[in-house]
Amino acid sequence: MLYAYAITWRGEPPPVAGLDGAALRAVGDEPAAIVSDHGELPLRAEPEDLWAHEAVVEAAMERGPVLPMRAGTAFADERELLDTLRGRAGEFRRALERVEGAVELGIRAVEDLEPSDNGKPPRDAGPGITYMIGRLERVRSAERVAAAIHEPLAALARESTWRVEAGPPPRLAAAYLVDRSQVESFRERVSELEDGRPISIVCTGPWPPYSFVAEGER
């Protein structure tokens, strides 16, 4: 069984070990897949396994663009993998071109404000009204954060995506596909946006472009 970590341009694995310390190798050529050989599926969904998977993807990213594979992706044998690579070669090449020279940066942002009087339910409000008013205030809070944070940062990225994570408090969770040369400028812009605003921002990365690989490309 072949456990797959990522699809890359290069037919050469990064100099790290895979799951359970297994040696890495590449299958295919432009595009190629980085894999390790196992008697059975080795992923146990334990933190150390997930980090081992991530370490391989990040090491491969240092050599060029990657399409990270979903943790747990495996193929019965080399023929099955080669059939996939050849059958979807054009799709994979376009995806690699789209992320080449870029990395993913993540943002988590939350508004550091108490609900306004307009966002507080009347004292005699029932549980249903209280819930709806609270939900509306959370949506408004997320919209304020998105307007203040997401739009300026999206202007510095090739692509971006965002969503609201349930609270309390609700958080803006966003991802940006940023040129490597613009990573420091992006981080500086994050600091500028946080300065003087009642918003707490955490910027993470650079990461492989997980958020910018379509479901079918993984």
Could you tell me the CATH number of the domain that includes residue 122? 3.30.70
Tell me: do 94 and 112 sit in the same domain: no
Q: Do 141 and 200 lie in a common domain?
A: yes
Q: Select from 41, 73, 100 the last residue of a domain.
A: 100
Q: What is the pLDDT of residue 139?
A: 61
Question: In total, how many domains does the chain have?
Answer: 2
* Element at 59 (helix H, strand E): helix 47-61
Q: Are residues 113 and 201 in the same domain?
A: yes
pLDDT digits (tens, 9 = 90+) for 44-72: 778 888 999 999 999 999 989 999 998 88
Q: How confident is the model at residue 112 (pLDDT cuts 50, 70, 90)?
A: low
Boundary-marking domain end, from 100, 121, 153: 100
The string of pLDDT tens digits covering residues 142-198 is 666 677 788 899 999 999 998 877 666 667 889 999 999 999 999 999 999 888 777
What is the spatial distance between Cα 61 and Cα 99, in angstroms, rounded to a whole number?
Answer: 11
Domain co-membership, 127 together with 200: yes
Residues 40, 106, single domain; the answer is no
Query: Which residues form the domain of 126?
Result: 102-212
Q: How far apart are CA 149 and CA 159, in angstroms?
A: 15
Note whether 61 and 140 are same-domain residues. no
Q: Which are the contacts of 13, defined by CB distance < 8 A and separation ≥ 6?
A: 24, 25, 26, 34, 60
Same domain, 124 and 195: yes
DSSP type of residue 218: -
Task: Name the band, by pLDDT with cuts 50, 70 and 90, for residue 115.
Answer: very low
Last residue in a domain, options 41, 66, 100: 100
Give pTM, 2 decimals.
Answer: 0.78
Q: Which of 19-23, 77-81, 108-112, 133-137 has the lowest mean pLDDT?
A: 133-137
217 belongs to a structural domain: no
Of 39, 158, 165, nearest to 98 by C-alpha is: 158
Looking at residue 117, its pLDDT comes to: 45
Same domain assignment for residues 54 and 155? no
71-76's contacts with Cβ under 8 Å and 24+ in sequence apart are 71/43, 71/45, 72/41, 72/43, 72/45, 73/3, 73/4, 73/218, 74/1, 74/2, 74/3, 74/4, 74/38, 74/41, 75/1, 75/2, 75/4, 75/35, 76/1, 76/2
In a domain, 114, yes or no: yes
